[in-house]
Amino acid sequence: MMNIAVTKWIMQRATAITLVPLLIWFLSIFIDLIQKDYQTTLVFFENDINFFLSIIFLIVVFLHMKIGTSEIFEDYIQNTQYKIVANLIISLFAIILPLLTIVSLVLIKFY
């Protein structure tokens, strides 16, 4: 069994590598789509590949965000109790926001 710190270290690098192509893809489509109309954007996310990649992107980006933010807390928050609360808030945020977004994507595609 790997130490939790080692697991986090590896996960942060693995998510970073995954995000290199995904982020460039997402940024380019985002910049393109915000200059187009509502219907075009809707149709874009109904496409199987775009739907699938967007969900992967959201999960990986928020995982990377959660690990990275905890690392910053580790450096700057001295009080253990504050650190636990801060980590709890960021965990909830990293679950709720992508979840709502993924649910929206699913509803766009299937309803």
Q: Contact with other proteins (CB under 8 A): which of 1, 4, 6, 78? A: 78
Rounded Cα distance, 67 and 70, in Å: 5
Query: Considering CB under 8 A, how many residues would be counted as binding other proteins?
Result: 38
Distances (CA, A) of 110 to 42, 78, 98: 12, 47, 18
Alpha helices in the chain (DSSP H): 4-33, 38-46, 48-76, 80-110
Measured in degrees and rounded to the nearest 5, phi and psi for residue 69 equal: -65, -40
Q: How far is the CB of 1 from other proteins (least distance, A)?
A: 22
Q: How far is the CB of 4 from other proteins (least distance, A)?
A: 18
Site string for other proteins, 36-75 (x = CB under 8 A): --x--xx--x--------x---x--xx--x--xx--x--x
Q: Contact with other proteins (CB under 8 A): which of 56, 85, 95, 97? A: 97
Is residue 23 a contact point for other proteins (CB under 8 A)? yes
Q: Which two tokens stand for residue 32?
A: 């393109």
Rounded Cα distance, 45 and 29, in Å: 11
Name which of 64, 62, 83, 78 is nearest 9 in CA terms: 64
Q: What is the binding site for other proteins (CB under 8 A)?
A: 13, 16-17, 19-20, 23-24, 26-28, 30-32, 34-35, 38, 41-42, 45, 54, 58, 61-62, 65, 68-69, 72, 75-76, 78, 97-98, 100-101, 104-105, 107-108
